[in-house]
Amino acid sequence: MSKQNRLHYDKERLPKHIAIIMDGNGRWAKKRHLPRQAGHRAGITALKRTIETIMELGIPVLTVYAFSTENWKRPADEVNHLMNLLRENLHNELSDLHENNIKLNILGDLKGLPSGLREELLEACETTAGNTGLVLNVALNYGGRSEIVRAAKAIARQVMDGDVSIDEIDEAIFGANLYTKGLPEPDLLIRTAGEMRISNFLLWQIAYTEIWVTDVLWPDFNSEVIFEAIEDYLKRDRKFGAVI
Ligand code: IPE
Ligand code: IPE
Ligand code: MG
């Protein structure tokens, strides 16, 4: 199928929400005898390409895993570099995001981030809050388990305040207390760099998500790989536990 045709997939059948575990920056750099930081820099370029393709396809929600609660275990140098890279790019790209009608959301604990980055993130979320185009969720200092614990605490507080009764607590209430409140659950989860694991990403939300793993390293990710993932997704029978 030509690229032009791919952009005319049946919109109804396309995923409404794609989530991506952007993995393999380090291996990409290693293959080129470059420092890991060069891999992260190239990873940002891949992210920009990906956002463009997702917008061209008209997919309403994209969630990308940028930094996990476990990534603090990395050497301080690498962590600092990643934080600076994110801050610098956010600063440079904010007007572009806004002009493209993108709404930025951060999934994760902002309090744990360096203050300069946190302020930049808050400004970007505030500036783009009213935008009606692509919803871009960036998971940053994010862990699926800590998100679930956070939701449990928020609901416990609502019970103590008398706003919710224990018997009222259901999956909908639980979902409404997650960072992804109000958004559809991911239809398709893509992981680059070949690992067959979830690494604490969106544990609640991916209960019925279709998973697609590619060996392509994140900095090499491009529209052709997205099309490959989507074409595979379109061939699957989503049964949700039923007989079809
Ligand atoms: C993904 O690439 C980026 C982050 C987790 C921040 P990695 O840095 O994990 O790359 P590999 O897995 O070492 O190749
Ligand atoms: C997952 O990648 C986290 C992000 C992409 C931000 P990791 O490289 O941290 O995952 P593991 O360590 O291989 O499970
Ligand atoms: Mg990795």
Looking at the domain that runs over 16-143+185-234, which CATH code has it been given? 3.40.1180.10
Beta-sheet pairing, 188-191 with 135-142: unpaired
Instruction: Please check the confidence at residue 89 and state whether its pLDDT lies above 90.
Output: yes
One-letter identity of residue 48:
K
Beta-sheet pairing, 17-21 with 188-191: parallel
The pLDDT, as a whole number, for residue 126 is: 98
Ligand 2 closest atom vs CA 70: 9
Cβ of residue 142 lying under 6 Å from some atom of ligand 1: no
Cβ of residue 71 lying under 6 Å from some atom of ligand 1: yes
Q: Who has greater pLDDT, 129 or 4? A: 129
The pLDDT, as a whole number, for residue 244 is: 84
- pLDDT tens sequence across 227-236: 999 999 999 9
Domain boundaries, the chain: 16-143+185-234
Instruction: Please check the confidence at residue 5 and state whether its pLDDT lies above 80.
Output: no
Q: How many Cβ atoms from other residues are within 10 Å of residue 126's Cβ? A: 10
* Pick from 23, 3, 58, 6: nearest CA to 189: 23
- pLDDT tens sequence across 48-77: 999 999 999 999 999 999 999 999 999 999
Say which DSSP state 220 is in: G
Q: Which residues of 224-243 are buried (b: 16+ CB within 10 A; e: fewer)?
A: ebbbebbeebeeeeeeeeee
Return mean pLDDT, the chain: 97
Cβ of residue 72 lying under 6 Å from some atom of ligand 2: no
Concerning whether 215 is annotated as a catalytic residue, the answer is: no
The pLDDT, as a whole number, for residue 45 is: 98
> What is the biggest distance separating any 2 CA atoms in the chain, rounded to whole angstroms?
59
* Pick from 199, 84, 192: nearest CA to 139: 199
Strand order across the 135-142 sheet: 103-107, 135-142, 61-68, 17-21, 188-191, 210-213
Reduced to 3 states, what is the DSSP secondary structure of residue 235? Answer: helix
Token duo for residue 153: 């605490």
The pLDDT, as a whole number, for residue 3 is: 66
Instruction: Please check the confidence at residue 237 and state whether its pLDDT lies above 80.
Output: yes
Reduced to 3 states, what is the DSSP secondary structure of residue 141? Answer: strand
Cα atoms in the Cβ-side hemisphere of radius 13 Å centred on 25: 20
The pLDDT, as a whole number, for residue 129 is: 98
Of the candidates 25, 71, 100, 237, the residue annotated as catalytic is 71
Which residues are registered as beta bridge partners of 191?
21, 213
pTM: 0.97
Cα(199) to ligand 2 centroid in Å equals: 6
Percent of the residues in the chain that have a pLDDT greater than 90, as a whole number = 95
Cβ of residue 120 lying under 6 Å from some atom of ligand 2: no
- pLDDT tens sequence across 167-214: 999 999 999 999 999 999 999 999 999 999 999 999 999 999 999 999
Arithmetic mean of pLDDT, 102-121: 97
Distant-in-sequence, close-in-space partners of 180: CB < 8 Å, separation ≥ 6? 63, 107, 137, 202, 205
- Rounded to whole angstroms, the Cα distance separating 92 from 231 reads 34
Q: CA of 176: how far to CAs of 162, 203, 235, in Å?
A: 17, 15, 31
